[in-house]
A = this chain, B = another copy of it.
Amino acid sequence: MGATKKYIIKKYVDRELFEVEDIVVKEYALTIFLNDEQFITLLCTQKSLESLVIGFLYSEKIIKSLDCIDNINIDENKCHAYVKLNNLSNINEKLYGKRVITTGCGKGSIFYDALHSLKCNKLSNKVDINYENLLKTMKVFNKRSELFEQTGGVHSVSIIHKDKILYFEEDIGRHNALDKIIGRCLINNVNIEDKIIMTSGRITSEIVLKCAGLGIGCIVSRSAATDLAINTSEELNIEVIGFARENKLNIYNKRV
């Protein structure tokens, strides 16, 4: 169990081979059952699984709110998550609708048409952004991931208020990490209107769409953003900030 596993590996350094113990990040295959029917398997990191399931179902628009879920039962040994939904309307349509394979490191968002989803409503964006605070918080954020320190194999996502990290999640997939944060916000009924999403991963269009679904007004990454992410965030009035490192950051679009 757990998020990591120890291996005896061969290390090659300066033309010499020797055996060392190494810590490797685990891929955990969690199969979600909706009302006893197998729905999907997520390859993820075995942490915050309930948040992941809730955030995933919300991101994929399978549930509109927590109220759609009667209960969740996770059997970590069996790698099963049993979700009892009280409303199964249009799940099949989603399942067999257009398939879009996205750039999601963690997963592709396969249940909706990304381009069609651009027709979301503009956000009435209430987040207050202080760039010095963001850079300060990014430094804390970068040091926060023990899993990354140990394995170098995970992405991190946080939800930020001013210069405070409210929640911090990590996963082999940047989408899973974001879904875990989204799940925690739903579970704890966090008002996200004045919050910021901080991520170690690149900002692609579907990351923007996930944040838009939650009503997030600003996304900050230490990595790059794509053109579609910038255009989408423009449409939705979300501020996208990339390459937030040391004393610098790039603001790809300001909110109006």
Contact = CB atoms under 8 A, between A and B. Distances in A.
24 contacts: A5-B227, A11-B250, A17-B131, A22-B252, A24-B225, A24-B252, A27-B103, A27-B227, A27-B228, A29-B100, A29-B228, A38-B98, A40-B99, A41-B113, A43-B103, A43-B206, A102-B107, A103-B105, A104-B105, A105-B174, A108-B110, A153-B202, A153-B226, A172-B202
A132 interface: yes
Interface stretch (A120-128, A211-219, A241-249): A241-249
Stoichiometry, as copies per complex, reads 2
Nearest to A135: B12
A81 to B, nearest CB: 13
Interface residues of A toward B: which range?
Answer: 35 or more
Nearest to A251: B10
Contacts of A102: 43, 107
Contacts of A108: 43, 101, 104, 107-108, 110
A151 interface: yes
Contact of A227 (B25, B249, B254): B25
A196 interface: no
